[in-house]
Amino acid sequence: MIRAARIPVILLAGVILFAAVACNPSRKYEKEEQEMIDSYLRDNPNLTFEQKASGLYIYNVTVGTGGFPVKDDTVYVKYTGKFLNGTIFDTNVGTADSLVFPVLAGWLIEGFDEGVTYMKTGGKSILLIPSWLAYGTSGLYGFVSGYTPLIFDLELVKIKKGPGK
């Protein structure tokens, strides 16, 4: 009799767990984001992106010369940030300023930081950065919504070797 009473409790617990997982709203947004990325890739077949293990997509427009930057090297970058619909939200192209930062030091969004490690001086690349490598589920102060993938056009202008190199 004790065993018979446990079956409904276990069954009820399983149903509750299934319902909680199935009703997880983040899965809906994750699926929508992946659909946006897939649509962008389909609509731009001339851009042959390579997807890295992290989920970052990179397309090398121009390879550049020399070595790749590594952790703690300082890089000088020209960039344009866009939403998948092409709307520009930030750029330093057309200015005298480069974005200067130490590589893999956590100063920038992960996808941008990782993306420059696949570039050489003079190289130009397009990064397609999923939200989990950008501004995540919460976005950026109402400026970038959560679950928003981003595009960055990058030019690696200069690499300054880090300390001890």
70-125 confidence digits (pLDDT tens): 999 999 999 999 999 999 999 999 999 999 999 999 999 999 999 999 999 999 99
Which residues partner with 60 through β-bridges?
125
> In 10 A of CB 128, how many CB atoms?
24
CA distance 89 to 163: 33
Whether 16 is in a domain gets the answer: no
Count of domains in the chain? 1
pLDDT band at 141 (very low <50, low <70, confident <90, very high): confident
CA distance 80 to 155: 9
Whether 30 is in a domain gets the answer: yes
CATH at 96? 3.10.50.40
Contact yes or no for 40/82 (Cβ under 8 A): no
Structural domain of 154: 26-160
Whether 106 is in a domain gets the answer: yes
Whether 9 is in a domain gets the answer: no
Which residue has tokens 């993938």? Answer: 149
Whether 142 is in a domain gets the answer: yes
